Amino acid sequence: MTTTYPPSDELKSKAHVDAAKYDEMYARSISDPEGFWGDVAERIDWIKKPTKIKNTSFAPGNISIKWFEDGSLNVAANCIDRHLATRGDQTAIIWEPDDPEEAAQYITYKELHGSVSRMANVLKSLGVERGDRVIIYLPMIPEAAYAMLACARIGAIHSIVFAGFSPDALAARVQGCDAKVVITADEAPRGGRKTPLKTNADKALLHCDEDVKCLVVKRTGGQTTWVDGRDFDYNAMAAEASADCPPAEMNAEDPLFILYTSGSTGQPKGVVHSTGGYLTYAALTHEVTFDYHDGDVYWCTADVGWVTGHSYIVYGPLANGGITLMFEGVPTYPDASRFWQVCEKHKVNQFYTAPTAIRALMGQGEEFVTKCDLSDLRILGTVGEPINPEAWNWYNTVVGKGKCPIVDTWWQTETGGHLMTPLPGAHATKPGAAMKPFFGVQPVVLEPTTGEEIHEFPTEGVLAIKDSWPGQMRTVWGDHERFEKTYFADYKNYYFSGDGCRRDADGDYWITGRVDDVINVSGHRMGTAEVESALVAHEKVAEAAVVGYPHDIKGQGIYCYVTLMNGEEPSDDLRKELRTWVRTEIGPIASPDLIQWAPGLPKTRSGKIMRRILRKIAENDYGALGDTSTLADPSVVDDLIENRMNR
């Protein structure tokens, strides 16, 4: 029996949405999406109010998603300007630096307006125009938010590259979206160490068009090399720039940003999000899921390099006129108390993090938490990967003292915002369950092979969504066919999430993890194909197959089977070399955990690698390999089991 945790009476009465209201709103969002979302869109300041609300199709050959298509607006004006009259002097962003000795910053809406307008004018002076792409490769500093909003203000499309990505990964993204400008900083402090961002950008730009410009923000003042005519000093230019920059009128369907994410095949794809639908959805989910009320201090610990940072550090909270905390550091620096010290220092009300962070901190002991005053916490959230009940219980009792509902939010880069989550004042929670669909979301469980919808419950299958919601991605940048193929080809007339799920006897949803070749390492999403292509790019590697395996802290670890070129000798030094190689090709987040030398890989007679077998061996579950008789050479399996790395 699963224990359930109902919301307190106090929460039920004060929350934006209680159980009855959820039922009523959900029912309307499905029966009358036009009416429902038309009303929700009232929360946005439109320049031209939309009259056409929903125009979407998941039909094979005609995947087309449009929301509010005749409306126009500006996202930066919605996140800043419209709040100036009522809350100009209220803090918009609290910035907490990596080093606790360095002063925090409290940036008011008025100040945000000035900084964003100046950054927008700097971008204009570099020749950035409406529709142009701008790459943002920055630490977690206020300038990252300024840069996003500055692009939005002038109608440029930003694409953030996580500061942990390597120069090669950065170059691929600059080229992938044909960016005009890369915004970076000298160095990124994190956990007491410094990543040389500008040096990385220099290396990346060697592989890019000559006319790509580089705008450099000063963070540490560390030495950087300078290329005249290509590199521009943000701080000097912003000081000179005008603080007046009228927001551009954008159509609701104009792209707001591109964010590269990993899939099961090939290189990362550029997920394109819209202006009107995305903002509406980010704002509503932020308010309802976290039960955000005016004046609350809200903290999402994600990085703006991931979608969570886009929707739930910047766009959602600021559209709601909220106070959003931006943290530059890591949970364990200077010690494992940092998260809780920051909560105490800034009197955080809503705290949103990833299961991997909870698991890492859980292992350090309770004193790190209990010595801090967490009495302002009201809502806790998790995102990014399934949370194991042990971590959930620790989060609930040690951090939340049993008083803070945990919203386990399931969603994806592609979905723009939460698709499933319990709502704090409406639903009892269950450790590890994403529970209920958000308004307008129609989840279905499909039988994996036939694609038939399974109506009864309890049941298990693959998770798909039946109809569009405003925050849905619109296309893959430059490749609409890939969009159709990736999300709509396997199961016709549905958006296929790539996740498996279980629906329990109460009809509540539990996400069981990816059913494709995407792995989730410390909440970072990665395609096994990317790691494989990095490995085979090494001159000593003939072939490689990569799978995930259960990892206590990271959720999943990266397990690599590597076949060396003829004549190459396996050694621990070579393991190290390959590890460093992958880090350089992709970034530290892709660093292999285990590398097994594989004289051969299990293949079918047609040459297809049987990953199911490799997954089982990596999970140390080789007793359940299933049928291996279709393999071209079944004996390779014995060797792989014999030499398995995870015992």
Q: Name the one range near ligand WTA by CB under 6 A: 87-95, 172-180, 341-349, 380-388.
A: 380-388
Q: Name the one range near ligand WTA by CB under 6 A: 202-210, 277-285, 406-414, 469-477.
A: 406-414
For residues 623, 626, 627, 631, the Cα torsion angle rounded to the nearest 10 degrees is: -70
Q: Is 409 annotated as a binding residue?
A: yes
Contact with ligand WTA (CB under 6 A): which of 63, 307, 374, 547?
Answer: 307
CB of 383 to ligand WTA, least distance (A): 5
Contact with ligand WTA (CB under 6 A): which of 320, 409, 486, 528?
Answer: 409
Are 161 and 305 a contacting pair, CB within 8 Å? yes
Contact with ligand WTA (CB under 6 A): which of 57, 267, 341, 412?
Answer: 412
> Which is nearer to ligand WTA, 72 or 556 (by Cβ)?
556
Q: Name the one range near ligand WTA by CB under 6 A: 54-62, 288-296, 468-476, 511-519.
A: 511-519
In angstroms, the CA 263 to CA 525 distance is 9
Q: Note whether 408 binds ligand WTA by CB under 6 A.
A: yes
Residue 245, φ and ψ in degrees, nearest 5: -145, 100
Q: Note whether 379 binds ligand WTA by CB under 6 A.
A: no
In angstroms, the CA 430 to CA 37 distance is 29
Q: Name the one range near ligand WTA by CB under 6 A: 5-13, 133-141, 160-168, 377-385.
A: 377-385
Q: Name the one range near ligand WTA by CB under 6 A: 216-224, 364-372, 381-389, 560-568.
A: 381-389
Q: Is 286 annotated as a binding residue?
A: no
In angstroms, the CA 329 to CA 285 distance is 26
Q: What is the DSSP letter of 288?
A: H
Q: What is the separation of C-alpha 571 from the centre of its chain, rounded to a whole number of angstroms?
A: 36
Q: Name the one range near ligand WTA by CB under 6 A: 206-214, 304-312, 360-368, 553-561.
A: 304-312
Q: Which residue is at the shortest CB distance from ligand WTA?
A: 413
CB of 646 to ligand WTA, least distance (A): 21
Q: Note whether 520 binds ligand WTA by CB under 6 A.
A: yes
Q: Is 525 annotated as a binding residue?
A: yes
Are 259 and 315 a contacting pair, CB within 8 Å? no
CB of 595 to ligand WTA, least distance (A): 24
Contact with ligand WTA (CB under 6 A): which of 155, 268, 384, 405?
Answer: 384
Q: Note whether 434 binds ligand WTA by CB under 6 A.
A: yes
Beta strand 495-503 pairing with 459-465: antiparallel
> Which is nearer to ligand WTA, 361 or 434 (by Cβ)?
434
Burial of 393 (0-12, 13-18, 19+ CB in 10 A): middle
For residues 70, 313, 290, 475, the Cα torsion angle rounded to the nearest 10 degrees is: 40
Q: Note whether 190 binds ligand WTA by CB under 6 A.
A: no
Contact with ligand WTA (CB under 6 A): which of 410, 469, 495, 581?
Answer: 410
In angstroms, the CA 383 to CA 555 distance is 12
Considering only residues 245 through 274, tell me which ones interact with ligand WTA, judged by CB under 6 A: 261
Going through 161-261 in order, the beta strands assigned E by DSSP cover 181-185, 188-190, 193-195, 213-217, 231-233, 250-251, 255-261
CB of 392 to ligand WTA, least distance (A): 11
Q: Is 408 annotated as a binding residue?
A: yes
Q: Is 459 annotated as a binding residue?
A: no
Q: Is 9 annotated as a binding residue?
A: no
Q: Note whether 514 binds ligand WTA by CB under 6 A.
A: yes
Q: Name the one range near ligand WTA by CB under 6 A: 82-90, 384-392, 554-562, 569-577.
A: 384-392
CB of 611 to ligand WTA, least distance (A): 17
CB of 297 to ligand WTA, least distance (A): 22
Helix runs in 157-258, H state only: 167-176, 197-205, 234-240
Are 276 and 73 a contacting pair, CB within 8 Å? yes
CB of 434 to ligand WTA, least distance (A): 5
Q: Note whether 499 binds ligand WTA by CB under 6 A.
A: yes
In angstroms, the CA 471 to CA 454 distance is 26
CB of 502 to ligand WTA, least distance (A): 11
Beta strand 323-327 pairing with 297-300: parallel
Instruction: Write the CA distances from 380 to 223, 326, 348, 405, integer angstroms.
Output: 40, 17, 10, 6
Are 221 and 233 a contacting pair, CB within 8 Å? no
> What's the full length of the chain, in residues?
647
Contact with ligand WTA (CB under 6 A): which of 114, 386, 557, 602?
Answer: 386
Are 604 and 631 a contacting pair, CB within 8 Å? yes
Q: Which residue has the tokens 């097994």?
A: 596
Total of residues contacting ligand WTA (CB under 6 A)? 23
> Which is nearer to ligand WTA, 366 or 552 (by Cβ)?
552
Q: Is 191 annotated as a binding residue?
A: yes
59 Cβ contact partners less than 8 Å away, ≥ 6 residues apart: 493
Q: Name the one range near ligand WTA by CB under 6 A: 64-72, 161-169, 382-390, 604-612.
A: 382-390
In angstroms, the CA 469 to CA 452 distance is 22
Q: Name the one range near ligand WTA by CB under 6 A: 356-364, 379-387, 482-490, 546-554.
A: 379-387
Tokens standing for 394? 């620790």
In angstroms, the CA 65 to CA 545 distance is 36
Q: Note whether 413 binds ligand WTA by CB under 6 A.
A: yes
Tokens standing for 66? 């449009």
Amino acid at 177: C
Helices (H) and strands (E) in the chain, counts: 22, 31
Q: Is 472 annotated as a binding residue?
A: no
Q: Is 192 annotated as a binding residue?
A: yes
Are 465 and 474 a contacting pair, CB within 8 Å? no
> Which is nearer to ligand WTA, 90 or 264 (by Cβ)?
264
Q: Note whether 511 binds ligand WTA by CB under 6 A.
A: yes
Known binding-site residue numbers for CoA = 190-193, 308, 522, 583
Q: Which residues bind to ligand WTA, rule: CB under 6 A? A: 261, 306-308, 383-386, 408-413, 434, 497-499, 511, 513-514, 520, 525
Known binding-site residue numbers = 190-193, 308, 384-386, 408-413, 499, 514, 522, 525, 536, 538, 541, 583
